Structure formats: structure tokens, C-alpha cells
């Protein structure tokens, strides 16, 4: 008659099926880890308490834990607790559900900082300080959809100092990352009767999708090494390609900024091509906005990260009443925080705040207070400095590896941000390289074409997110990338 073993410490229900106590316990624990019932990192009861719960000798449990540690299912440190291993033995790993994409071990796709380097203890300390001193009203529903005054103050100081933004606290709307921020702006613009948003022909597809969801048509601005081309000329080849894109994607390319109500730009570091919008194009954009009443949206997603010189200041400073400045914690800290901020011209701030209230009332006060404390304590600056140094080394390493192992390819774009464009020699096929990397090298890559169908097959390139892997996996990831490239160059078919 089977009998259930249960431990009081954790959910550890085990069937006692026969006299082979040690073998049964070992088999069932192994199976519970393998199947995912005991999740990675879970703390197991001490051998003493499990033995007492199960009514078996303590040595039996000690032996079983020892065996499973030796096999890699559990981990134990001297004198410390026993936990489920974070990486279970590969041959027995839980199979992915059918249809789910295989998770690759190495990842050089752009979009993420090194999330393993998130400053957990400093963030926790800031949270403790912030929540310990917050007034009771901070735990209620906030009266102001724009966000907490503590964060407005802290951000205003930081943005003026670090990015040259012209800002007063009452112009800031805190949002759930730029993804939400853009939606709020589109909603406010649509409410004013706007119909058309100009976007860079290369960019994040989901941002373009947000404009469409809010009923705005998008018009593509060609992009070259100097960022967006604003005067409706652009390189002929690019315009032709973009016209092809627009037929497919419902975009309209004619006329540059003329006729658009607003334009979304990445002036400090074009995503993904990597150029910086120079002074002449910045003034052209500002002239257009001043002349037509159009609005510029400055997506400053990675503006703190420049490696070869001081970062170029925000374009917003040239015309604070014509530009919405948008920043995010998604690159400087972690995308999982879902914290971003908009600095909005006076004439639009109430409408954007109303859109925020309609979307989700306001962002989490707890996270806002923590970020405010993180900023004012100097921890944010320190984190940015640390990350800047680390990513700069990573970029240098990537550039050197490409020069050495795949000199036919070229890293382009300014030395900035968390990604670089890797232009491949004509004749190589992006999709083929991405597939080979996944299949033979356990490496995830993104191609340029995923950011714009305007990128023709004659311009193969990869967008390398060198910040994405954890530190210990970075050189391995680059080595795998080099192996993929050298093989492809040797054997292009």
C-alpha cells in the first residue's frame, strides 16, 4: 500500500512504494527535479528535518542528497542548505513543450542589457530605504497619473545633468517603458486629430505597430549612416527599397517630414543602424517642428552609453516645446522593471497624463520610489558607469574578433549603446547564417531584415546585441559567432 511522504518545509510529496527506502527516495527526488515539480533554486529541507518527516534514518537522506548532488540535480555548499540545481543535467533536461522555440545557450540578439548584472543588492537597499521612509499616502492609489513627485524631482535633476534635457518636474510622465510611452503619445496625438507619424525606415517593428493600433498611419524616413534622412530625398536606393517595404507594410514614404504630424527618431544612436543624427539634421527637424507645429519624439533609449566621446546631449534641449524626450530604464537597468519617462511640452502634458490614467491609472508607486532613491543616492550613476565600462570592453572585443577572424565583415555605427551592426559580405544570406548559428552553435542571432523589410537581400547584416549575454558567456558567444562567420565565408552556399 503506497503511503505519502510529506515534508513540512517545502511541498515535497513523495510516495513510499516499497522497502527500498533509499532508492525510492532518490528516484522520486530525481524525477521531481527532472519534471520541474521541484523548481531550480528551490531550497530543500535539511536532512535532519526531512528524515524526521519521513521517519527514516538521517544518513539515508544525507546519502540521497549526496548522490543527487554528485549527479548535478542538487547543489549544496559546505555547511549550507541544499537546493535544486539551476541547470539540470543536459541529457535529462525537461523537454520544451511542442511548438515552443528552443532556448539557445548563447544569445547575441539586441534589445537587452546584461540582466545578470542587475544590481540586486543596491536595488534592494534603495527599496528598503524608499519604502521605509515613504509617507502612508504613497501606498494608496496615486492622485497624479504622471507619477510620484519624488521620482519627478530625481529624474529632472538626472536628465538635466546627464543628458542636457530642459525639464521641470511637472513635465514628466512616468510610464511602463517607452513601449507604453509611445502608446500614450499616439493616443494624445490622435485625440488632437493627427493622422500620420513619420518613423525611421529601420526600427523596432512593435513600435510601428503601436502607431497603427492608435489609428496613425506611418511614413518611413530613409536612414543612412547619419541617422534619419529628413528632407524627403534620401539615398535613391534606400527610397526604392523603402517604397517596396511600404507597399507591403502599408507605409508611405513620399515627402520626408512634410505632411507628417509627428516624427519618431532615435537621434543619439539610430536603432538599429547605429548612426548619430548630426547638428544639421537636428536643426532641420526642429525647423520643421517649429514651422508646422509638428511634434518630434526623441527615443533616447541608450543615450548614456557612448564610448568614444562624451554622449551627444538630447535634441529636446533645442526646442523643449516641440520635442517629447523619452527615456527608459530598460537598457540602463533592466527591461523587466518596465519603467520609462516622458518629458512632455507644456501644451501636451495634460493629454499625455490623461492617456496614462486611462491606460493603467499610474505606474507602481513602489517601483517609482525605489528608482527615485536609486537616482538620488548616486547608485544609478554608478551602475551606468559600471555598465558603460563593461559594454565598451565587449564592443572592443567584438570589433577585434571580427577584424581577426572575419575581416570581410564590418562592424559599423558609432561606438555607443548595447548593439552594433555587423555588415556581411554580399552573397551571404542572413537567414541562413542565423539558422546555422542556432542549429550548430547554440547561438541566437538577429538579422537586419527583421527591423525593416526595406533591407534587401543585397545588404546582409546582423544586429549584434553584445550586452545581452551574462559576462561568463560573452567570449564564448563571440567565439561561436566567429565560427559561424568563418564557416559561412568558406562555404557561402
Ligand X SMILES: Cc1ncc(COP(=O)(O)O)c(C=O)c1O
Binding positions for ligand X, rule: CB under 6 A = 111, 177-179, 204, 266, 271, 299, 301, 328, 330, 335, 340
Contacts 24+ apart (CB under 8 A), 81-87: 81/43, 81/44, 81/46, 82/43, 82/44, 82/46, 82/47, 83/41, 83/42, 83/43, 83/44, 84/33, 84/38, 84/39, 84/40, 84/41, 84/42, 84/44, 85/33, 85/40, 86/40, 86/41, 87/40
Give whichever of 38 and 339 is closer to ligand X, judged by the CB atom: 339
> What's the closest the beta carbon of residue 7 comes to ligand X, in angstroms?
41
Can you tell me whether residue 214 is helix, strand or coil? coil
Strand 223-224, strand 227-228: pairing: antiparallel
DSSP E strands, 34-168? 74-76, 82-84, 106-107
Q: Pick the closer one to ligand X by CB: 47 or 270.
A: 270
Minimum distance of ligand X from residue 418's CB (angstroms)? 8
Nearer to ligand X, 54 or 326 (CB): 326
Angstrom distance (rounded) from CA 129 to CA 380: 15
* Residue among 56 and 359 whose Cβ is closer to ligand X: 359
The distance of closest approach from Cβ of residue 34 to ligand X in the complex, given in angstroms and rounded to an integer, is: 35
Asked if 176 and 371 touch (Cβ cutoff 8 Å), the reply is no
Pick between residue 110 and residue 164 the one whose CB is nearest to ligand X: 110
Question: Minimum distance from CB of 275 to ligand X (Å)?
Answer: 13
What are 229-235's contacts with CB under 8 Å, separation 24+?
229/256, 229/281, 230/256, 230/257, 230/263, 230/281, 230/284, 230/285, 230/288, 231/256, 231/257, 231/284, 232/256, 232/257, 232/258
Task: Decide whether 111 or 460 has the Cβ nearer to ligand X.
Answer: 111
Measured from the CB atom, the residue of 45 and 469 that comes closer to ligand X is 469
Residue nearest to ligand X (CB): 177
Least distance to ligand X, CB of residue 426, Å:
27
Alpha-carbon distance of 108 to 466, in angstroms, equals 6
Q: How far is the CB of 326 from ligand X (least distance, A)?
A: 8
Q: How far is the CB of 466 from ligand X (least distance, A)?
A: 14
Minimum distance from residue 222 beta carbon to ligand X (Å): 17
Are 189 and 295 contacting, i.e. CB atoms less than 8 angstroms apart? Answer: yes
Judged by CB, which is closer to ligand X: 271, or 474? Answer: 271
3-class DSSP state for residue 115? helix
The Cβ of residue 359 has, within 10 Å, a number of other Cβ atoms equal to 16
Amino acid at each position: 500500500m503506497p503511503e505519502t511522504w510529506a515534508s513540512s518545509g517545502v511541498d515535497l510529496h513523495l510516495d513510499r512504494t516499497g522497502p527500498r527506502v533509499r532508492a525510492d527516495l532518490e528516484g522520486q527526488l530525481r524525477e521531481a527535479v527532472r519534471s520541474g515539480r521541484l523548481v531550480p533554486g528551490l531550497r530543500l529541507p535539511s536532512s535532519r528535518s526531512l528524515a524526521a518527516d519521513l521517519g527514516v534514518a538521517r544518513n539515508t537522506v544525507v546519502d540521497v542528497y549526496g548522490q543527487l548532488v554528485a549527479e548535478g540535480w542538487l547543489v549544496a555548499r559546505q555547511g549550507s542548505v541544499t537546493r535544486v540545481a539551476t541547470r539540470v543535467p543536459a541529457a535529462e533536461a525537461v523537454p520544451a513543450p511542442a511548438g515552443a522555440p528552443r532556448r539557445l545557450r548563447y544569445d547575441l540578439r539586441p534589445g537587452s542589457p546584461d540582466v545578470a548584472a542587475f544590481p540586486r543588492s543596491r536595488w534592494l537597499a534603495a527599496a528598503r530605504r524608499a519604502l521605509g521612509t515613504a509617507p502612508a499616502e504613497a501606498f494608496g492609489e496615486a492622485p497624479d497619473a504622471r507619477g510620484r513627485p519624488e521620482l519627478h524631482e530625481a529624474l529632472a535633476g538626472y536628465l538635466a545633468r546627464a543628458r542636457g534635457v530642459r525639464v521641470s518636474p511637472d513635465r514628466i510622465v512616468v510610464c511602463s517603458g517607452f513601449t507604453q510611452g509611445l502608446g500614450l503619445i499616439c493616443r494624445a496625438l490622435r485625440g488632437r486629430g493627427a493622422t500620420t507619424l513619420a518613423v525611421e525606415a529601420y526600427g523596432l517593428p512593435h513600435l510601428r505597430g503601436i502607431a497603427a493600433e492608435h489609428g496613425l498611419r506611418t511614413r518611413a524616413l530613409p536612414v543612412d549612416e547619419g541617422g534619419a534622412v529628413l528632407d524627403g530625398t534620401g539615398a535613391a536606393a534606400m527610397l526604392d527599397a523603402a517604397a517596396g517595404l511600404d507597399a507591403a507594410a502599408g507605409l508611405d514614404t513620399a515627402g520626408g517630414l512634410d505632411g507628417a504630424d509627428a516624427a519618431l527618431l532615435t537621434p543619439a544612436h539610430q536603432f538599429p543602424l547605429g548612426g548619430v543624427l548630426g547638428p544639421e539634421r537636428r536643426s532641420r527637424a526642429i525647423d520643421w517642428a517649429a514651422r508646422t507645429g509638428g511634434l518630434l519624439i526623441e527615443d533616447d533609449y541608450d543615450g548614456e552609453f557612448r564610448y568614444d566621446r562624451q554622449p551627444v546631449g538630447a535634441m529636446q534641449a533645442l526646442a523643449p516645446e516641440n520635442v517629447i524626450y523619452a527615456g527608459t530604464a530598460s537598457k540602463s537597468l533592466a527591461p523587466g522593471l518596465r519603467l520609462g519617462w516622458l518629458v512632455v511640452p507644456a501644451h501636451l502634458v495634460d493629454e499625455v497624463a490623461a492617456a496614462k490614467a486611462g491606460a493603467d491609472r499610474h505606474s507602481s508607486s513602489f517601483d517609482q520610489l525605489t528608482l527615485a532613491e536609486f537616482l538620488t543616492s548616486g547608485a544609478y550613476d554608478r551602475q551606468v558607469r559600471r555598465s558603460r565600462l563593461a559594454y565598451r570592453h565587449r564592443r572592443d572585443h567584438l570589433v577585434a574578433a571580427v577584424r581577426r577572424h572575419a575581416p570581410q565583415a564590418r562592424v559599423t555605427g558609432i561606438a555607443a549603446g548595447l548593439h552594433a551592426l555587423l555588415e556581411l559580405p554580399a552573397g551571404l544570406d542572413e537567414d541562413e547564417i542565423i539558422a546555422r548559428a542556432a542549429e550548430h552553435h547554440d547561438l541566437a542571432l538577429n538579422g537586419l531584415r527583421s527591423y525593416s523589410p526595406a533591407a534587401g537581400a543585397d545588404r546582409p547584416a546582423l544586429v549584434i546585441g553584445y550586452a545581452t549575454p551574462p559576462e561568463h558567456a560573452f567570449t564564448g558567444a563571440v567565439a561561436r559567432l566567429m565560427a559561424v562567420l568563418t564557416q559561412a565565408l568558406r562555404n557561402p552556399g
